[in-house]
Amino acid sequence: MQESSNPIQPIFNYNDVFFSFFYDDVGSCIHRSSDYALNYVYAGEMVLDYGTEQIRIGKGECVFIPRDHHITLYKKSCDGERYCGIFLKFTRPFLREMYGRFGQGRVPDSTPKLDGGPIKLPRTAELTSLFASMTPYFDPEVKPQGDFMDLKMQEGLLALLHIDDRFAPTLFDFNEPWKIDILEFLNQNYMYEFTMAEMAHYTGRSLATFKRDFKKISDLTPEKWLIRKRLEVAYAKIKEGGRKVVEVYAEVGFKNPSHFSTAFKKQYGVPPTALLA
């Protein structure tokens, strides 16, 4: 997760359990991770924005964040309280270890996985008890032991497994080491700036494997594919949606209108403004 550069925003990491709080009015970060996560709001509020929808998480609420998603998290004060949150990251090695303890035979093989996207979780006794026991560690002078944090991670995982049977096949999916469909990922995230190394990482591949797999699905380079995708979406928004150029270029991922107009004319033979004539 890449945090913004706000002046005072302490974050403490204890064995993949993150405690964060903000003194300023609004804190934000871009969440990009190949790991599943659980985020609890102890005070203040958090808004998750993942393009097509926003989810508000208030005090005492918790959200499950799936892996391989690009999400902007806005953390802010609410009702006079600064934001305080606890973030649990479920890594692949941790889930593999836990599968041997909790996953095998837990649910029938026919149980479907969860749909994509963050999930606002119900307030269960298990989640309430878990996070209530962890709040003393917002004090940086009180450092927990590593094995104690490991137990809290296990509690968080079990809390999810008891909420919905579909968490088990979702979290304990170890097919092709986290490899996900490249086109599905790029179609959902075409508007963001990625290096090729980042695209490889977020689709669960080494850079060499990503390049090889991408050649199987397109004759273009990943960079050119993204530009073409952005232009196709922009064309539809302007031509069919009647949107203005100044409203569209940044929305689809271009940095400035000049670059957008040049690329648009190169692909379609006319400037984008011609579609509004």
Taking only the tens of pLDDT, the chain with its 277 residues reads: 444 444 445 677 888 888 887 655 555 566 666 689 999 999 999 998 876 788 999 999 999 998 877 788 888 888 888 888 999 999 888 988 888 787 666 777 788 888 878 999 999 999 999 999 998 888 878 888 888 889 999 999 999 999 999 999 889 887 654 566 788 788 888 888 888 988 888 887 889 989 988 988 888 899 999 999 999 999 988 888 788 888 899 999 998 899 999 999 998 999 998 887 6
Please tell me whether residue 116 adopts helix, strand or coil conformation.
Answer: coil
* N- to C-terminal Cα separation, the chain: 44
Extract the tokens encoding 5.
């550069």
Please tell me whether residue 167 adopts helix, strand or coil conformation.
Answer: helix
Residue 1's pLDDT is 45
The residues pairing with 20 across neighbouring beta strands, listed in sequence order, are 11, 85
Residue 131's pLDDT is 95
Residue 266's pLDDT is 92
Residue 22's pLDDT is 66
Residue 116 CA to residue 68 CA, distance in Å, equals: 10
Residue 2's pLDDT is 40
How far, CA to CA in Å, does 199 sit from each of 44, 48, 56, 207? 33, 22, 28, 8
Strand order from edge to edge, sheet including 84-90: 11-14, 17-21, 84-90, 36-43, 62-65, 119-120
Residue 231 CA to residue 218 CA, distance in Å, equals: 17
Residue 72's pLDDT is 82
Residue 33's pLDDT is 65
Side-chain half-sphere exposure of 250, counting CA atoms within 13 A: 3
Residue 4's pLDDT is 42
Closest CA to 158 of 133, 113, 127: 127
- Whether residue 32 contacts residue 95, with contact meaning beta carbons closer than 8 Å, is answered with no
Amino acid at 189: N
